[in-house]
A = this chain, B = another copy of it.
Amino acid sequence: MRLSHSLIPTLKETPAEAQIASHRLMLRAGLVRQTSAGIYAWLPIGYRVLRNIERIVRAEQDAIGAQECLMPTIQPAELWRESGRYEDYGKEMLRIRDRHDRELLYGPTNEEMITDLMRQSVKSYRELPQILYHIQWKFRDEVRPRFGVMRGREFLMKDAYSFDLDYAGAEVSYRQMMLAYMRTFQRLGLRAIPMAAESGPIGGNLSHEFIILAPTGESLVHYDSAFEEIDYLSRGAGGFDHTSATDLERFFTEMTTHYAATDEKHDPAAWEKVAQPRRREGRGIEVGHIFYFGTKYSAAMGLTVAGADGKPVHPEMGSYGIGVSRLVGAVIEASHDAAGIIWPDSIAPFRAAILNLKPGDAACDRICEDLYAKLGATALYDDRPDRAGVKFADADLMGHPWQIVVGPRGAATSQVELKRRATGERIELAADDVPARIA
């Protein structure tokens, strides 16, 4: 993308309304613009990050055999009356009447709808287990939306729903999903800590929250350093294969034995038992939540399958959410400095920015165009007629993993400077060697 002809409106000033780092940086780097209170338009580079996160979330859901579907944003009120949640949900639910005065709502979650779809379709225990998921926009009419996309009203969530024949099966689904979550966060370059959680308005009795560590996070967390040492992506010896009951058991034991608590649930007596060198404190942000809630919805809504003995059984269910749009903010909270965002390679909007320090200079233009042609969609080409200082500042602000700096002095001998955003390290090298160097 050529920056001169792009909707990437970077800002020099910090917008007054932004109270936290990610909100400030998302506005300043031109990732999003607010269009109504708590509702955002995702501009080109913000949307690229959102899609990159979505891609990783999807890949790890697919890897455990979850099936992707897409339920609509608008739901009928009747479904929510069946579960009894239509009144319970209160003012956070955006209620709508259509032209025929039918009661609709903008879905804040999808337990009712997926239960309805399953009761129309599955008949026999032989069809279970199944996990369905979708990545869809949700709406919660927060009384005071704030912190940018971290607490918006229209937000993107991955929500998954598991259906099992019995508790043992539901437990396997729960553990598989927990492993998928830890893998997802690791691939996003985040350190996540799972914490036993209360169930909240969604119901249920086994649940975990996932807190990712970020120096500017909303809550203080105490955790065992064991969580920092586990490689969730490893599937070989010592790693976790989600199809192995033994591995899942070992994984779940790891996740639930080590100490982890937010400040409000902190238990000093238990904390004392953690060996001193293993005690860690940090700040964190909640980015996911998983629940097992048994037959709450299947019983209330009459979802049954014929069991092996022919008798009807209510499937045991769980639900599993990740805040996909919230993660964009959370990653920034976890990875930024005074100059701007520092994107992990896995989700950066562009792998590299090409900074043409002197547009119009034949050698600079030639080298930049050549690099841009070779790097294609993975590069943002800063071809604006602006001062070098503006380009350096914007590149740091936008946080591309690599900056390729093309100035007239080096260009004369086809040399460019390559800067790694995360470390600040700079090297000089031949322009021709850049693509291989950053691949």
Chain A residues engaging chain B, CB cutoff 8 angstroms: 1, 4-7, 9, 30, 33, 35-37, 39-44, 46-48, 50, 62, 67-76, 79, 91-92, 94, 96, 98-99, 102, 104, 106, 113, 116-118, 120-122, 126-130, 132, 134, 137, 139, 141, 143, 153-154, 377, 385
In the assembled complex, which residues on chain B have CB atoms less than 8 Å from the CB atom of A1?
Answer: 67
Listed by A's residue number, 28 A-B pairs whose Cβ atoms lie within 8 Å are A4-B126, A4-B127, A5-B127, A5-B130, A6-B130, A7-B69, A7-B121, A9-B120, A35-B79, A35-B113, A35-B116, A36-B72, A36-B74, A36-B76, A40-B72, A41-B69, A41-B71, A41-B117, A42-B69, A42-B70, A43-B69, A44-B67, A44-B69, A48-B68, A72-B154, A73-B154, A74-B94, A99-B143
**If the complex has contacts A98-B141, A127-B5, A130-B7, are A33 and B73 also in contact, measured as CB distance less than 8 A?**
no
Q: In whole Å, how far is A326's beta carbon from the nearest beta carbon of chain B?
A: 15
**Which residues from chain B contact A92 at a C-beta distance below 8 Å?**
99
Kindly report how many copies of this chain are found in the complex they form together.
2
Majority secondary structure of chain A interface residues (helix, strand, loop or mixed): mixed
Task: Return A6 CB to nearest CB of chain B, in Å.
Answer: 6
Tell me whether A126 and B7 are in contact (CB under 8 A): no
Contacts of A102 in B (CB 8 A): 36-37
Contact assessment for A74 and B106 in the assembled complex, using a CB-CB cutoff below 8 Å: yes
Is the CB–CB distance between A35 and B76 below 8 Å? yes
Q: A5-B130, A130-B5 are in contact. Are A41 and B67 (CB under 8 A)?
A: no
Q: Are B94 and A69 in contact (CB under 8 A)?
A: no
Q: How far is the CB of A246 from chain B (nearest CB, A)?
A: 22
Task: State A139–B134 Cα separation when bound (angstroms).
Answer: 19
- CB <8 Å contact, A98 and B104: no
In chain B, what residue has the closest Cβ to A50? Answer: B70
Whether the pair B47, A154 counts as a contact (CB closer than 8 A) is no
A35 touches B71 (CB 8 A): yes
Choice from B47, B98, B128 contacting A5 with Cβ under 8 Å: B128
The CA of A41 and the CA of B129, in the complex, are separated in Å by 21
Q: In the complex, what's the smallest C-beta–C-beta distance from A347 to chain B, in angstroms?
A: 16
Asked whether, in the complex, the Cβ of B104 is within 8 Å of the Cβ of A36, the reply is yes
Min CB distance A99 to B, Å, is 5
Q: Once the chains bind, are B113 and A41 in contact (CB under 8 Å)?
A: yes
- Central interface residue in A35, A132, A154, by most chain B CB within 10 Å: A35
9 extra A-B contacts, CB within 8 A, seeds A5-B128, A37-B102, A72-B154: A7-B117, A7-B121, A9-B121, A35-B79, A36-B102, A42-B69, A42-B70, A46-B69, A47-B68
- Closest B residue to A92 by CB, please name it: B99
Sorted nearest first, the 5 A-B pairs with minimum C-beta distance are A9-B121, A42-B70, A36-B76, A44-B67, A91-B99
Among A4, A62, A69, A106, the one with the most B-chain Cβ atoms within 10 Å of its Cβ is A69
**Which B-chain residue is minimally distant from A37 (CB atoms)?**
B102
Cα(A108)–Cα(B132), bound, Å: 29
